[in-house]
């Protein structure tokens, strides 16, 4: 069994915030792979489905970001899921919009949702870092993450969420490099090959030996 957690803040006023890209990604996975409906449980919303022959629980904590670990620990404890079988999708300031990385273990880099999960369960879980870009000034970070995605972001946001949902079976199978490659290809498909130049036409010869031009 795999526990997939999207991080964000509850409520319609936060639904389109950059900080909620984890919620958005989990919603895309649930839709694409035909999970059952979300229901309120474990201080969050949880849905279940089967992907690549594995039972998957999708969780969106409704505790607000800073207390995400409370919800994750409740669900993980009930189903006896160790951190090694957890995936956490969250916003990442240090990656440009449309980029992602998969990482296991390590620090929380000041992300309050990860900080809370670390406090409850430790760091030995996989996290999918979904880039939202940095505002360029640390004093503007809070406003940046709690602001809705800009119109300019729409070009890559939908494409990224679709790519995460499409590639999700690779994550379930433990093929993190394959997942990252698949998403990268979807975000930046190879340029089409230039057409080959037409073969030069050989002049025809007339019966008297002159070029037929």
pLDDT in tens, 181-209: 999 999 987 666 666 666 555 555 555 55
How does the average pLDDT of the chain come out, rounded?
A: 92
Mean pLDDT of 13-34: 98
Q: What is the pLDDT of residues 144-183, one digit of tens each?
A: 999 999 999 988 999 999 999 999 999 999 999 999 999 9
- Identify the domain containing residue 67 by its residue range: 2-187
For residue 48, being part of any structural domain is answered with yes
Q: What percent of the chain has pLDDT over 70?
A: 88
Q: Tell me: pLDDT of 12 over 80.
A: yes
In this structure, the number of other CB atoms found within 10 A of the CB of residue 204 comes to: 8
For residue 199, being part of any structural domain is answered with no
For residue 211, being part of any structural domain is answered with no
DSSP string, 179-202: HHHHHHHHHSPPPPPPPPPPPPPP
For residue 212, being part of any structural domain is answered with no
Which residue is it, tokens 């880099």? 109
Q: What is the pLDDT of residues 53-99, one digit of tens each?
A: 999 999 999 999 999 999 999 999 999 999 999 999 999 999 999 99
3-class SS string, 4-42: EEECCCCCHHHCCEHHHHHHHHHHHHHHHCCCCCCEEEC
For residue 206, being part of any structural domain is answered with no
Q: What is the pLDDT of residue 213?
A: 47
> Domain of 73: which CATH number?
3.40.50.1470
Mean pLDDT of 123-132: 96
d(CA 162, CA 27): 10
Helix (H) or strand (E) holding 48: strand 44-51
For residue 18, being part of any structural domain is answered with yes
> Which candidate in 14, 19, 108, 118 is catalytic?
19
Q: Tell me: pLDDT of 124 over 90.
A: yes
d(CA 62, CA 82): 21
Query: Which residues partner with 2 through β-bridges?
Result: 56
- Total domains, the chain: 1
Residue 19 annotated as catalytic: yes
Count the alpha carbons within 13 Å of 87 in the hemisphere toward its beta carbon: 28
Helices (H), the chain: 21-32, 68-79, 112-121, 141-145, 154-172, 176-187
For residue 207, being part of any structural domain is answered with no
For residue 209, being part of any structural domain is answered with no
């Amino acid at each position: 069994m795999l526990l997939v957690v999207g991080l964000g803040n509850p409520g319609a006023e936060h639904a389109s915030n950059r900080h909620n890209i984890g919620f958005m990604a989990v919603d895309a996975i649930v839709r694409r792979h035909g999970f059952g409906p979300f229901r309120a449980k474990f201080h969050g919303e949880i849905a279940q489905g089967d992907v690549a022959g594995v039972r998957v629980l999708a969780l969106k904590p409704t505790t607000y970001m800073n207390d995400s670990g409370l919800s994750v620990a409740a669900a993980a404890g009930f189903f006896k899921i160790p951190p090694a079988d957890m995936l956490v999708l969250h916003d990442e300031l240090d990656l440009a919009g449309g980029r992602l990385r998969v990482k296991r273990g390590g620090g929380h880099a000041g992300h309050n949702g990860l900080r809370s999960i670390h406090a409850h369960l430790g760091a030995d879980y996989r996290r999918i870092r979904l880039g939202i870009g940095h505002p360029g000034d640390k004093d503007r970070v809070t406003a940046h993450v709690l602001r809705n995605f800009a119109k300019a972001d729409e070009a890559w946001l939908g494409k990224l969420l679709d790519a995460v949902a499409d590639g999700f079976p690779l994550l379930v199978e433990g093929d993190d490099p394959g997942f990252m490659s698949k998403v990268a290809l979807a975000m930046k498909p190879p340029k089409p090959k230039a057409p080959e130049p037409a073969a030069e036409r050989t002049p025809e010869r007339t019966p008297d030996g002159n070029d037929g031009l």
